[in-house]
Protein backbone atom coordinates (compact mmCIF):
# COMPACT_ATOMS: atom_id res chain seq x y z
CA UNK A 1 0.00 0.00 0.00
CA UNK A 2 1.14 3.53 -0.67
CA UNK A 3 0.07 6.17 1.86
CA UNK A 4 -0.41 9.86 1.16
CA UNK A 5 -0.99 12.12 4.14
CA UNK A 6 -1.44 15.70 5.26
CA UNK A 7 -1.85 17.20 8.72
CA UNK A 8 -2.88 20.58 10.05
CA UNK A 9 -3.37 22.23 13.42
CA UNK A 10 -4.92 25.60 14.23
CA UNK A 11 -5.56 27.34 17.54
CA UNK A 12 -9.12 28.24 16.57
CA UNK A 13 -10.82 31.56 17.20
CA UNK A 14 -11.22 31.60 20.97
CA UNK A 15 -8.27 29.93 22.70
CA UNK A 16 -5.13 31.97 23.40
CA UNK A 17 -2.79 29.24 22.24
CA UNK A 18 -2.74 25.86 20.54
CA UNK A 19 -2.43 22.96 23.00
CA UNK A 20 -2.95 20.30 20.31
CA UNK A 21 -0.08 18.51 18.58
CA UNK A 22 0.02 16.54 15.33
CA UNK A 23 2.54 14.11 13.90
CA UNK A 24 4.02 14.34 11.33
CA UNK A 25 3.99 18.12 11.04
CA UNK A 26 4.40 18.03 7.28
CA UNK A 27 2.59 16.22 4.49
CA UNK A 28 4.11 13.39 2.52
CA UNK A 29 3.81 10.02 0.81
CA UNK A 30 5.42 6.65 1.46
CA UNK A 31 5.15 2.98 0.63
CA UNK A 32 6.84 2.00 3.88
CA UNK A 33 5.24 2.10 7.35
CA UNK A 34 3.80 5.47 8.39
CA UNK A 35 2.92 6.80 11.86
CA UNK A 36 0.30 9.51 12.25
CA UNK A 37 -1.04 10.93 15.50
CA UNK A 38 -3.08 13.66 17.16
CA UNK A 39 -2.77 14.73 20.81
CA UNK A 40 -4.99 17.26 22.58
CA UNK A 41 -3.31 18.64 25.68
CA UNK A 42 -5.10 19.87 28.76
CA UNK A 43 -4.09 21.74 31.84
CA UNK A 44 -4.59 25.28 30.58
CA UNK A 45 -2.16 27.38 32.60
CA UNK A 46 -0.28 24.21 33.52
CA UNK A 47 1.06 23.60 30.06
CA UNK A 48 -1.35 21.47 28.03
CA UNK A 49 0.84 22.26 25.04
CA UNK A 50 3.84 20.67 26.81
CA UNK A 51 1.76 17.56 27.57
CA UNK A 52 0.59 16.96 23.99
CA UNK A 53 4.00 17.64 22.41
CA UNK A 54 5.90 15.55 24.99
CA UNK A 55 3.63 12.51 24.74
CA UNK A 56 3.43 12.58 20.95
CA UNK A 57 7.19 12.96 20.65
CA UNK A 58 7.86 9.97 22.93
CA UNK A 59 5.22 7.85 21.15
CA UNK A 60 6.69 8.49 17.70
CA UNK A 61 10.37 8.39 18.63
CA UNK A 62 10.97 4.84 17.39
CA UNK A 63 10.90 4.35 13.63
CA UNK A 64 7.48 3.33 12.21
CA UNK A 65 8.84 -0.07 11.09
CA UNK A 66 10.39 -0.91 14.49
CA UNK A 67 9.02 -3.76 16.61
CA UNK A 68 7.52 -1.35 19.17
CA UNK A 69 3.75 -1.95 19.38
CA UNK A 70 1.17 0.79 19.21
CA UNK A 71 0.25 0.23 22.86
CA UNK A 72 3.92 0.36 23.90
CA UNK A 73 4.24 3.66 22.07
CA UNK A 74 1.32 5.23 23.91
CA UNK A 75 2.54 3.84 27.25
CA UNK A 76 5.96 5.39 26.44
CA UNK A 77 4.20 8.74 25.90
CA UNK A 78 2.46 8.35 29.25
CA UNK A 79 5.70 7.38 31.04
CA UNK A 80 7.48 10.38 29.57
CA UNK A 81 4.73 12.71 30.85
CA UNK A 82 4.71 11.14 34.31
CA UNK A 83 8.51 11.47 34.46
CA UNK A 84 8.31 15.12 33.41
CA UNK A 85 5.74 15.80 36.14
CA UNK A 86 7.86 14.03 38.73
CA UNK A 87 10.87 16.18 37.82
CA UNK A 88 8.78 19.34 37.75
CA UNK A 89 5.81 19.15 40.15
CA UNK A 90 4.53 22.52 38.86
CA UNK A 91 3.38 20.57 35.80
CA UNK A 92 1.10 18.29 37.83
CA UNK A 93 -2.37 18.41 36.31
CA UNK A 94 -1.23 18.50 32.71
CA UNK A 95 -2.41 15.66 30.54
CA UNK A 96 -3.26 14.80 26.98
CA UNK A 97 -5.32 12.61 24.70
CA UNK A 98 -3.46 10.55 22.13
CA UNK A 99 -4.81 8.82 19.04
CA UNK A 100 -2.06 7.16 17.04
CA UNK A 101 -2.23 5.18 13.80
CA UNK A 102 0.46 2.89 12.42
CA UNK A 103 -0.15 2.31 8.72
CA UNK A 104 1.67 -0.82 7.58
CA UNK A 105 2.75 -1.50 3.97
CA UNK A 106 0.43 -4.55 3.81
CA UNK A 107 -2.62 -2.29 4.36
CA UNK A 108 -3.02 -3.00 8.07
CA UNK A 109 -3.87 0.00 10.23
CA UNK A 110 -3.11 -0.40 13.92
CA UNK A 111 -4.84 2.19 16.06
CA UNK A 112 -4.09 3.08 19.65
CA UNK A 113 -6.30 5.51 21.47
CA UNK A 114 -6.80 7.30 24.80
CA UNK A 115 -9.17 10.23 25.31
CA UNK A 116 -11.61 12.02 23.02
CA UNK A 117 -9.59 12.67 19.90
CA UNK A 118 -11.06 10.42 17.19
CA UNK A 119 -10.21 8.26 14.20
CA UNK A 120 -12.68 7.75 11.35
CA UNK A 121 -12.57 5.49 8.32
CA UNK A 122 -13.98 7.03 5.15
CA UNK A 123 -14.84 4.32 2.65
CA UNK A 124 -17.13 4.80 -0.36
CA UNK A 125 -18.01 8.30 0.96
CA UNK A 126 -19.31 6.80 4.24
CA UNK A 127 -17.86 7.92 7.58
CA UNK A 128 -17.28 5.24 10.21
CA UNK A 129 -16.07 6.11 13.71
CA UNK A 130 -13.23 3.74 14.68
CA UNK A 131 -12.61 4.99 18.23
CA UNK A 132 -14.69 5.28 21.40
CA UNK A 133 -14.59 8.62 23.23
CA UNK A 134 -13.28 8.23 26.76
CA UNK A 135 -15.64 10.81 28.21
CA UNK A 136 -18.23 10.78 30.97
CA UNK A 137 -20.91 11.57 28.39
CA UNK A 138 -19.94 8.76 26.00
CA UNK A 139 -20.08 6.31 28.92
CA UNK A 140 -23.52 7.58 29.94
CA UNK A 141 -24.71 7.08 26.36
CA UNK A 142 -23.18 3.58 26.22
CA UNK A 143 -24.98 2.67 29.46
CA UNK A 144 -28.27 3.98 28.11
CA UNK A 145 -28.49 6.78 30.68
CA UNK A 146 -28.23 9.58 28.13
CA UNK A 147 -29.79 10.07 24.72
CA UNK A 148 -27.08 10.38 22.01
CA UNK A 149 -28.90 13.47 20.72
CA UNK A 150 -28.38 15.22 24.07
CA UNK A 151 -24.69 14.32 24.33
CA UNK A 152 -23.50 17.28 22.21
CA UNK A 153 -25.00 19.79 24.63
CA UNK A 154 -24.28 18.00 27.89
CA UNK A 155 -22.34 20.25 30.34
CA UNK A 156 -19.87 17.42 31.06
CA UNK A 157 -19.24 16.52 27.41
CA UNK A 158 -15.55 17.49 27.66
CA UNK A 159 -14.81 15.57 30.88
CA UNK A 160 -12.39 12.75 30.08
CA UNK A 161 -12.42 9.38 31.82
CA UNK A 162 -8.97 8.49 30.44
CA UNK A 163 -5.95 10.60 29.55
CA UNK A 164 -2.16 10.41 29.55
CA UNK A 165 -0.29 12.02 32.44
CA UNK A 166 -2.56 11.01 35.29
CA UNK A 167 -1.15 7.60 36.21
CA UNK A 168 -1.18 4.12 34.67
CA UNK A 169 -3.15 4.20 31.42
CA UNK A 170 -5.45 1.75 29.66
CA UNK A 171 -5.01 1.96 25.88
CA UNK A 172 -7.73 1.00 23.38
CA UNK A 173 -6.33 -0.92 20.44
CA UNK A 174 -7.89 -1.77 17.11
CA UNK A 175 -6.72 -3.25 13.83
CA UNK A 176 -8.33 -2.30 10.52
CA UNK A 177 -7.67 -3.86 7.10
CA UNK A 178 -7.44 -0.96 4.66
CA UNK A 179 -8.35 -1.20 0.99
CA UNK A 180 -7.39 0.93 -2.00
CA UNK A 181 -9.29 4.22 -1.89
CA UNK A 182 -9.77 4.23 1.89
CA UNK A 183 -9.19 7.45 3.77
CA UNK A 184 -8.47 7.70 7.50
CA UNK A 185 -9.19 10.89 9.45
CA UNK A 186 -7.65 11.47 12.88
CA UNK A 187 -8.73 14.65 14.64
CA UNK A 188 -9.08 16.50 17.94
CA UNK A 189 -12.43 17.41 19.47
CA UNK A 190 -12.02 20.97 18.19
CA UNK A 191 -13.20 19.52 14.87
CA UNK A 192 -15.86 17.10 16.09
CA UNK A 193 -17.42 19.49 18.62
CA UNK A 194 -17.95 22.08 15.88
CA UNK A 195 -19.09 19.84 13.00
CA UNK A 196 -21.52 16.93 12.83
CA UNK A 197 -20.44 13.64 11.29
CA UNK A 198 -22.59 14.54 8.27
CA UNK A 199 -20.79 17.86 7.82
CA UNK A 200 -17.40 16.17 8.24
CA UNK A 201 -18.30 13.48 5.69
CA UNK A 202 -19.39 16.10 3.17
CA UNK A 203 -16.09 17.99 3.38
CA UNK A 204 -13.77 15.03 3.95
CA UNK A 205 -14.66 13.10 0.81
CA UNK A 206 -13.40 13.72 -2.67
CA UNK A 207 -10.56 16.21 -2.71
CA UNK A 208 -6.80 15.65 -2.17
CA UNK A 209 -5.52 15.26 1.42
CA UNK A 210 -3.95 18.70 1.87
CA UNK A 211 -6.88 20.92 0.75
CA UNK A 212 -9.26 18.62 2.65
CA UNK A 213 -7.35 19.08 5.91
CA UNK A 214 -7.56 22.86 5.62
CA UNK A 215 -11.18 22.81 4.45
CA UNK A 216 -12.07 20.93 7.65
CA UNK A 217 -10.10 23.39 9.82
CA UNK A 218 -11.78 26.32 8.09
CA UNK A 219 -15.24 24.80 8.51
CA UNK A 220 -14.64 24.29 12.25
CA UNK A 221 -13.51 27.89 12.57
CA UNK A 222 -16.50 29.14 10.60
CA UNK A 223 -18.74 27.17 12.97
CA UNK A 224 -17.20 28.99 15.96
CA UNK A 225 -13.69 27.66 16.40
CA UNK A 226 -14.09 27.46 20.18
CA UNK A 227 -11.26 24.97 20.62
CA UNK A 228 -7.92 24.12 19.00
CA UNK A 229 -8.46 22.11 15.79
CA UNK A 230 -6.17 19.35 14.58
CA UNK A 231 -6.70 17.16 11.55
CA UNK A 232 -4.66 14.37 9.97
CA UNK A 233 -5.77 12.60 6.79
CA UNK A 234 -4.16 9.49 5.31
CA UNK A 235 -5.18 8.03 1.95
CA UNK A 236 -4.42 4.40 1.08
CA UNK A 237 -3.59 3.56 -2.53
CA UNK A 238 -2.53 0.33 -4.18
CA UNK A 239 1.20 0.73 -4.79
Cα separation values, 39 from 146, 177, 178, 192, 221, Å: 27, 24, 23, 14, 19
Under rule CB under 5 A, which residues in 13-72 are in contact with Mg ion? 40
Prior bond of 24 cis (ω within 30°): yes
What's the closest the beta carbon of residue 202 comes to Mg ion, in angstroms? 22
d(CA 147, CA 141): 6
Which of 80, 84, 133, 189 forms a contact with Mg ion (CB under 5 A)?
189
Q: Which one, 188 or 212, has the nearer CB to Mg ion?
A: 188
Kindly state whether residue 80 participates in binding Mg ion, applying the rule CB under 5 A: no
Q: Which one, 39 or 146, has the nearer CB to Mg ion?
A: 39
The candidate with the shortest Cα–Cα distance to 176, out of 79, 100, 107, is: 107
What's the closest the beta carbon of residue 95 comes to Mg ion, in angstroms? 12
Q: Which one, 133 or 227, has the nearer CB to Mg ion?
A: 227
Count CB atoms within 10 A of the CB of residue 184: 24
d(CA 211, CA 208): 6
What's the closest the beta carbon of residue 191 comes to Mg ion, in angstroms? 9
Which window, 134-142, 178-186, 195-203, 223-231, contacts Mg ion (CB under 5 A)?
A: 223-231
SS3 of residue 117 by DSSP: coil
Under rule CB under 5 A, which residues in 98-157 are in contact with Mg ion? none
Binding site for Mg ion (CB under 5 A): 40, 188-190, 227
Amino acid sequence: MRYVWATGSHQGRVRGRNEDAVYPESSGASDTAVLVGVADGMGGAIAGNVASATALHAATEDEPDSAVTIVERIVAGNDELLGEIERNPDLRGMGTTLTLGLFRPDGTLELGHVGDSRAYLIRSDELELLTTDHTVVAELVAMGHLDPGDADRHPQRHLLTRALGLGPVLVDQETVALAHGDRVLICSDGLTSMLSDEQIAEIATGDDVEPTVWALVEAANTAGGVDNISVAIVDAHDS
